[in-house]
Amino acid sequence: MSSPRLTYCSSGIGRATGILFAMEGVEEIMITYLPEEKKDADSAKEKIEKFGAKCHTYEVDLTEKGACKKLADDAVKTMGSVEILFNNAAYQEVLQDPIKDLSE
């Protein structure tokens, strides 16, 4: 594979995808994570780097306005380009009354 860059998150589908892309030859991968996910991010980084990819980690809350723009700017500055964007950020929680408790 030439030199695609991939961004993703630290656990679940994102983690599995990052590892698979590293196995397939992606040279640089960026992990985004929340503070409470640091342990997951560090573990994912370790696994990804075992396959030879350079892995960058960023603690960021993607629900904050402006965070996505800053993250995109940082990704391009750090990696030169982003050729693959796998945006799989999610946060799960149980709501007592799912319809009533939803916000934008």
Model pLDDT for residues 24-49, shown as the tens digit of each residue: 998 899 888 889 889 999 999 999 99
- Report the number of distinct structural domains present in the chain: 1
Could you tell me if residue 64 is inside a domain?
Answer: yes
With respect to residue 72, please indicate whether it lies within any of the assigned structural domains.
yes
- Calculate the CA 2 to chain-centre distance: 21
CATH of the domain at 54: 3.40.50.720
Is residue 86 over pLDDT 50?
yes
| Domain of residue 9, residue span | 5-88
Query: Do the domain assignments include residue 74?
Result: yes
Taken in order 11, 13, 16, 18, the sign of the CA dihedral is negative
Query: In this predicted structure, what is the pLDDT of residue 44?
Result: 92
Residues 6+ apart with CB under 8 A from 60: 32, 33, 34, 67, 70, 71
DSSP strand pairing (54-59 vs 84-85) = unpaired
Q: Is the pTM of this model over 0.85?
A: no
Task: Kindly state whether residue 96 falls inside one of the protein's structural domains.
Answer: no
Residue 88's pLDDT is what?
76
* Residue 14 and residue 37 in contact, taking contact as beta carbons nearer than 8 Å: no
* 58 domain residue, yes or no: yes
Give pLDDT tens digits for 52-80.
Answer: 999 999 898 888 889 888 888 888 888 88
92 backbone dihedrals φ, ψ, rounded to 5°: -110, 140
